[in-house]
Each structure stands twice: as C-alpha cells, then as structure tokens.
Amino acid sequence: MTLTVEDVIGKRAIVSVRNISETGESFDEYWGIIDTVSDVLSIKVEGGSDKEFKTLPPDLTDFELTTHDVIYQLKDNDPISGVDFEIYWTRYETEAVHKKYGNQNDEI
C-alpha cells in the first residue's frame, strides 16, 4: 500500500528511532499525532518525550499500518491505544558509522 500525505496527517503514530554510533546504540521511543509532512515529518508528541514536537525524514515508506485494538506500552509504561501507524527509523551518527554498521538502503 502506498501512503500519501493525506493518509497520515492527523493520525497517531508510535515511533522507534534506533541511534547507532561508534560507542553503541540507543533507542528513542515516543508517540503522537502526525502534524505536517513537507521537508520533514513533524509529530506533535503525546508521550515518551519532553519535547512538544519531534521531526523525522518525510519518508512514508517507513510507516507500518496497525490496528486500533492494539495497545502499546513503552518505557514509561503508559498504555497507548488508537495507534494508526508504527514508524521505525535508524539514525547513524556519521557516514563512517553508516558504512560500518548500516545496510545499503539505510539513510544517514
């Protein structure tokens, strides 16, 4: 299924970002409502982060459709329901780290 901007605006997403560096990896998980998609994808955060908005690259191919009866729990253990999409993204600290640990199709 190919998603359009109209398909995702106003929908709830749960986001998992895997950060990879020379010293290891960490994860950033949060959820919220997709606010805009243009040069960046902007998410109005509902939980998992102290920031009001977080941004990602505007690549809709990273979205996975979910069902509304799924309830998630992230690191703060708050239940999250009504999730429309899951977004998984990997962020590499540098191009050298990407070459060492990344897949050919991953972004830096």
pLDDT tens track for 81-94: 889 999 988 888 88
Judge whether 104 lies within some domain: no
Which stretches of the chain are DSSP H helices?
A: 5-8, 95-101
Asked if pLDDT for residue 76 goes beyond 70, the answer is no
Judge whether 87 lies within some domain: yes
Q: 12 near 72, Cβ under 8 Å?
A: no
Q: 87 near 62, Cβ under 8 Å?
A: yes
Which domain does 81 fall in, by range? 5-94
Domain count, the chain: 1
Judge whether 67 lies within some domain: yes
Edge-to-edge strands of the sheet including 85-92?
53-56, 41-47, 24-37, 12-21, 85-92, 63-65
Give the pTM.
Answer: 0.80
Judge whether 51 lies within some domain: yes
Judge whether 22 lies within some domain: yes
Asked if pLDDT for residue 108 goes beyond 60, the answer is no
Judge whether 72 lies within some domain: yes
CA angle 32, 67, 40 (to 5 degrees): 35
Judge whether 90 lies within some domain: yes
pLDDT tens for each residue of 24-70: 899 988 999 999 999 999 999 998 888 999 999 888 888 888 876 77
pLDDT at 34: 96
Judge whether 107 lies within some domain: no
